[in-house]
Structure 1
Amino acid sequence: MIYKVYYQESEKQVPVRENTKALYLKADSEREVRQKLKDRSIHIELIQELHGQYLSYEEKQENFEVLE
């Protein structure tokens, strides 16, 4: 499954919508996504599973790159 992770680069600052970034990650569950990202110093806002038309839409975006 492919997950889209919305995050802030600093876990110490207050989240600001304009600074929210996204990355795509291949994993079997949301828990696995969190495990894969635990070593990064980021503040995770939302983890969203992508499938169907949502995944098709995201694949067409120029910044779509799936991390393992």
Structure 2
Amino acid sequence: MIFKVFYQETIDEVPVREKTKTLYIEAESERDVRRKLQDRHINIEYIQPLEGAHLAYEQQNPDFHVLEIEQ
């Protein structure tokens, strides 16, 4: 399944909406997403599963690239 992860680049600062970034990752579950990203030291705000029409919509975005991390 593909997940959209909303995050801040640093864990030391208070989250600011304007600095929120996103990435797409393939994983089995939300827990798996967190496990795969644990060594990146980012502040994960929200993990959203993507499927169906929502996934198709996100795939139209030119910035849509699925991060593949094997663990």
TM-score, structure 1 normalization: 0.98
Q: Hey, what's the Cα distance between the residues in 2 that align with 1:67 and 1:9?
A: 16
Q: Hey, what's the Cα distance between the residues in 2 that align with 1:55 and 1:13?
A: 31
Number of residue equivalences: 68
Per the alignment, residue 60 of structure 2 pairs with 60
The RMSD of aligned alpha carbons is: 0.4
Q: Hey, what's the Cα distance between the residues in 2 that align with 1:28 and 1:42?
A: 20
Per the alignment, residue 16 of structure 1 pairs with 16
Counterpart residue identity of residue 48, structure 1: Q
Structure 1: 5+ residue runs without aligned partners?
A: none
Where does structure 1 differ by over 3 angstroms across 4 or more consecutive aligned residues? none
- C-alpha displacement of 1:41: 1.3
TM-score, structure 2 normalization: 0.94
Percent of pairs with identical residues: 59
Q: Hey, what's the Cα distance between the residues in 1 that align with 2:62 and 2:9?
A: 21
Per the alignment, residue 26 of structure 1 pairs with 26
